[in-house]
Amino acid sequence: MADEGGIFKLMATYDKRWVYLVLFIVVLGPLINPIGMPIGVSAMTKHYYNQINTLQEGDIVFDAWNMEYSGYMELKPGVLATHKMFIEKGVKLIIAFGHFEGVAIPDVVFKELSTWLDRYDYTEGEDYVIIGYTMPNEAAVAALSGDFHANVRVDWKGNSIEGTFLDDVQNAGDFDMISDYTTGLATTNIVRHMVLTYDTPMIVNAIGVSVPGALANLDAGLYTAVLASTRGGAEMEFLIGSPGPGLKAMDGFTLGHYMLLAFIVIGNIGHYGWARETAYRDRTGIR
């Protein structure tokens, strides 16, 4: 006797482990060999990009790395794309950490940016200074904002900051922009003591769960632009013409969703086809 249901039964009852195997393949593939699928760019990301483009060569940006290492992995596309723009435009960066894990991140970031650093002769000490873990709490941010040199005299390697572009910085009012990469650490403190006190413009690259709150601050005028997590970073990579981890991830996400939709369609066709054949056999007695 022929197997009842045939191809429709197979489509409706396939082993679900195949779903996980195929999903693994279609997500891993683009990470190894990116496809470069088209991506839409949101108005929010375009605004973030345009805000960075208002900077001029020599402008000073307070670069707030308010992220632990796990948060960096989500924000990585936006961090790299934003810094590529900073390097290309020749702005000066003051890099400060809001989490003690921040000390492990610069080596990773600047290794990824090595080609850009070499191309634009962008060097530590002259074009950027890392002042280290200087934002452990609100009191530290308030002190740093009000009298920079009273609270920071050396960089994170112990080198004096005298004779660098930081000689032009007395307080947070001397920053042309604040660029924040946040998982929700010292960001509120920066808003209170830099944005509200000195009216310094602030752009924010936020992890996914922080985006709704960031958008509320954007609407309130506390932020001038917001970049949303990995997706926003991918859109920035597209805008600057430099594909990176964000677009790779979006390739995987897109193909993964297409694959899941395909399995849903297959399962539904199988279910209705199998049910229809079963009803026909029951009605006619044909087996």
Q: Give tens-digit pLDDT for 141-178.
A: 999 999 999 999 999 999 999 999 999 999 999 999 99
pLDDT tens readout for residues 170-206: 999 999 999 999 998 789 999 999 999 999 999 999 9
Name the pTM for this structure: 0.80
Query: What mean pLDDT comes out for the span 111-123?
Result: 96
Alpha carbon distances (Å) from 211 to 123, 216, 240: 32, 9, 22
Please give the pLDDT value at position 149. 96
Angle between helix 69-89 and helix 43-53 axes, rounded to 10 deg: 50
Q: Rounded distance, CA 126 to CA 107, Å?
A: 17
Residues of the chain with pLDDT > 70: what percent?
Answer: 90
Please give the pLDDT value at position 281. 64
Contacts of residue 45, defined as CB under 8 A and 6 or more positions apart, other chains included, come to: 227, 228, 232, 235, 236, 239
Q: Rounded distance, CA 243 to CA 234, Å?
A: 8
Query: What mean pLDDT comes out for the span 45-73?
Result: 96
User: At the top level of CATH, which class does the domain 43-242 belong to?
Assistant: alpha beta
Please give the pLDDT value at position 253. 64
Please give the pLDDT value at position 55. 97
Q: Rounded distance, CA 78 to CA 217, Å?
A: 19
For residue 5, pLDDT beyond 60 = no
Query: What mean pLDDT comes out for the span 216-240?
Result: 94
Query: What mean pLDDT comes out for the span 67-80?
Result: 93
